[in-house]
Structure 1
């Protein structure tokens, strides 16, 4: 390897690696020289290298000490050069660590993990979502993509922050979208609803283009854009305005002494919905007779989906093989 090739490789290394290699080379050099100058005091090269590191780090155990004038001159040179080099390495390492932490908080560092959840858009809804996921499963990796945030400290929120436009491939690659488990795209409520939906659909197209198999959950604000979101590749479209309007209606016209919003909120915190195929033993049974079957497993039969019609708590109906049952069960 010629000098130019060595320089090409050496100067392409990270500065911390270069400094560490320099420290080792300098300590090996001083350790070898002191072994040659005072072989009686330093029986092996390793003893000389040990002395060089201890002296250069200004620890000074005193187990190996040069006694001759040339040996002490070497010690002086080591203290002047090696000590400064070690100090420079430590300060550089500390600086790189701080800079890396700053880059993380500013969303400049790529995510290299797998099976993570990508959350797009930072707002009060996604903030609470992050806290809920952290409470349920602290081992679940979360990656947040947002272009409006300038900084997000990891110690405040357990997410890997990526700053940028989520509709750009380079940003999605930074979030390692190819190895992600699922994606949630939240609408930007700070801009006009139609524009927010257009941005959401563009992001959905970009995510689907980078990963054909990943489940995409997309929030849409206007009804007219729901079909476009599905065409763009969304697996689930969350029409948040519809949901909130329904809750408002229940709050306005609910029965006396009923609290619909608190009921729904606590229900979703502790229970989850499941869609299952009709068990064979329930074929031909009535809905009423099927209810106790699920109660034995601490599950509640809420209704069925038949020919894209949702029949919730039907009075009298016979269950068929093509029916999909809607079950409520615990998160555990």
Structure 2
């Protein structure tokens, strides 16, 4: 019984190996064995064992250079056996390799291949916003790896430095495929196929899943309604983008200006070279007024937009507004 159990264990372990690895071993054994045998049977035609192995290799692969040929009946019989036994394995070997490569390519296109990189950005939801963000990130950080999670695409959008993971972003297995534990940040876009309330509820659920797996992950979430803002903050969102407010504010500003602000809005894209930054206050700014700090930053080609004090943000405060130790400077720079 012990012998049977041991045999079954060996067979099981053998079958767990990839099939192309097992076939490779068979082919190598055939080449080495028949190369040794033919060198023993016909020493005049095959002076060394290496010559026999070389002959066995070019024969089973159907290359057939003809530089070594068995002359005796026994040698030719051995060659016939090797061809019948080896050619089938070689054919199976190359067929398996091809099938494996094609399968892996299909899995990659279909979003079934796990991402192994680190310090990447995870974007959840494929839409025009996601496409624009990817284009911007490729300009600002061209070597930054991006993982796109979506369950509506049948195939990867095939964008450089973007790995597509197909699946539900609330599912742990999907997030594990995206290597969420090693990610730098996650951006949750609103589902364009749902109504505003349901889209926000889904975004909150995704945020909870992300923070549940990686509490330290920096998460940006897009919301379409005001009702879920508090829930997003409770769920641990590091940044809440209220699309409804941004869009309405830009549209109202365009109406009030009546002078074509759309071109200005396009310059707010980080890909254009201009970015917003939040800088901690250094000793050189403490006690200075907003006016004095603005002049100082202009020398570095940066425009002071506002001051962030705790949870409160003051955009374009009075020129006499005094900067304190724990403040942060909101600047527009390039």
TM-score, normalised relative to structure 2: 0.91
Name the stretch that deviates more: 124-133 or 180-189.
124-133
**1:310 match:** 314
Say yes or no: does 1:224 pair with 2:227: yes
Change (3 A) 1:4 1:45: farther
Using the TM superposition, give the Cα deviation of residue 5 of structure 1 relative to its aligned residue in structure 2, in angstroms: 2.9
Say yes or no: does 1:182 pair with 2:185: yes
Q: Say if 1:189 and 1:196, in contact at 8 Å, map to a contact too.
A: yes
Distance in 2 between the 1:115 and 1:321 partners?
A: 31
Name the stretch that deviates more: 236-245 or 278-287.
278-287
Using the TM superposition, give the Cα deviation of residue 153 of structure 1 relative to its aligned residue in structure 2, in angstroms: 4.8
Q: What SS does the corresponding residue of 1:60 show, helix, strand or coil?
A: coil
Q: Residue 275 of structure 1: which of 275, 278, 296 is its match?
A: 278
Using the TM superposition, give the Cα deviation of residue 62 of structure 1 relative to its aligned residue in structure 2, in angstroms: 2.8
Change (3 A) 1:44 1:136: farther
**2:124 match:** 120
Q: What SS does the corresponding residue of 1:218 show, helix, strand or coil?
A: strand
TM-score, normalised relative to structure 1: 0.92
1:147-188 Cα distance to aligned partner (Å, 9 max, x none): 12222253x564211111111111111111111111111110
Give the unaligned 5+ runs of structure 1. none
Q: Say if 1:217 and 1:238, in contact at 8 Å, map to a contact too.
A: yes
**2:102 match:** 98
Q: What SS does the corresponding residue of 2:111 show, helix, strand or coil?
A: coil
**1:22 match:** 26
1:34-113 correspondence runs (5 A): 34-113=38-117
Alpha-carbon RMSD across the aligned residues, in angstroms, is 2.0
**1:327 match:** 331
1:220-250 Cα distance to aligned partner (Å, 9 max, x none): 1111101101111211111111111111111
Using the TM superposition, give the Cα deviation of residue 262 of structure 1 relative to its aligned residue in structure 2, in angstroms: 1.9
Say yes or no: does 1:260 pair with 2:238: no
Q: Say if 2:136 and 2:269, in contact at 8 Å, map to a contact too.
A: no
**1:251 match:** 254
Give the unaligned 5+ runs of structure 2. none
Change (3 A) 1:121 1:299: same
Distance in 2 between the 1:34 and 1:57 partners?
A: 17
Q: What SS does the corresponding residue of 1:223 show, helix, strand or coil?
A: coil
**2:140 match:** 136
Name the stretch that deviates more: 206-215 or 4-13.
4-13
Q: What SS does the corresponding residue of 2:16 show, helix, strand or coil?
A: coil
Distance in 2 between the 1:319 and 1:116 partners?
A: 35
**2:295 match:** 292
Say yes or no: does 1:145 pair with 2:149: yes
Change (3 A) 1:295 1:153: closer
Change (3 A) 1:309 1:157: closer
Q: What SS does the corresponding residue of 1:170 show, helix, strand or coil?
A: helix
Distance in 2 between the 1:329 and 1:36 partners?
A: 79
Q: Say if 2:39 and 2:48, in contact at 8 Å, map to a contact too.
A: yes
Q: Residue 194 of structure 2: which of 178, 181, 191 is its match?
A: 191
Q: Say if 1:286 and 1:318, in contact at 8 Å, map to a contact too.
A: yes
Change (3 A) 1:4 1:152: same
Q: Say if 1:27 and 1:52, in contact at 8 Å, map to a contact too.
A: yes
Using the TM superposition, give the Cα deviation of residue 126 of structure 1 relative to its aligned residue in structure 2, in angstroms: 0.6
1:51-86 Cα distance to aligned partner (Å, 9 max, x none): 111111122223332221111222222223322321
Distance in 1 between the 2:288 and 2:150 partners?
A: 50
Distance in 1 between the 2:131 and 2:208 partners?
A: 24
Name the stretch that deviates more: 289-298 or 234-243.
289-298
